Amino acid sequence: MIKTLTVTTRRQGLQDITTAVNRVVGEADVREGLCTLFLQHTSASLTVQENADPSARHDLEQWLNRLVPEHDPHYTHTFEGPDDMPSHIKAALTATSLGIPITEGRLALGTWQGIYVWEHRYSGDSRRLVIHISA
């Protein structure tokens, strides 16, 4: 089963999609299987992160912003704005696809794990997430 989910991001940062993906897994009615997520973009990405304390996600976002600065004089790909080239780099350093087993009809996530779309552009966008589920 394949389903495409549209995730509307409104700003740069991590957006929790765990509940939305688990809903798709529930609809697939698979007790044990594999859920593969694939994000169809190169200026946003996927990550599995701490779902409890928002300060961990805040620090992670800020750390990556410091690692991949804007207005780096080495950049030549600049015509789409100062947040575009850093977005491609951040996407390359994180994940475009994730494979998550399904047990008891749900994603087999750890207690403290959430799944996030990581928007790297300032303004957010409509992001398409392709979800493949197999038994």
40 interacts with a copy of itself by CB under 8 A: yes
> What one-letter code names the amino acid at 98?
L
Closest CA to 90 of 115, 113, 62: 62
Considering only 16, 18, 68, 83, the residue that binds a copy of itself (CB under 8 A) is: 68
8 interacts with a copy of itself by CB under 8 A: no
Measure the CA–CA gap between 12 and 114, rounded to whole angstroms.
Answer: 18
20 interacts with a copy of itself by CB under 8 A: no
Strands 33-39 and 106-107: unpaired
What minimum distance in Å lies between the beta carbon of 11 and a copy of itself? 19
> What one-letter code names the amino acid at 36?
T
Stretch that binds a copy of itself, among 5-13, 16-24, 52-60 (CB under 8 A): 52-60
Q: Map residue 60 onto helix, strand or coil.
A: helix
Considering only 17, 21, 28, 91, the residue that binds a copy of itself (CB under 8 A) is: 91
21 interacts with a copy of itself by CB under 8 A: no
Angle at 30 between CA 25 and CA 36, to 5 degrees: 50
Strands 106-107 and 97-103: antiparallel
Residues that bind a copy of itself (CB under 8 A): 2, 32-34, 36, 38-42, 47-50, 53, 55-56, 58-60, 62-64, 66-68, 72, 74-77, 85, 88-89, 91-101, 103, 108-113, 128, 130-132, 134
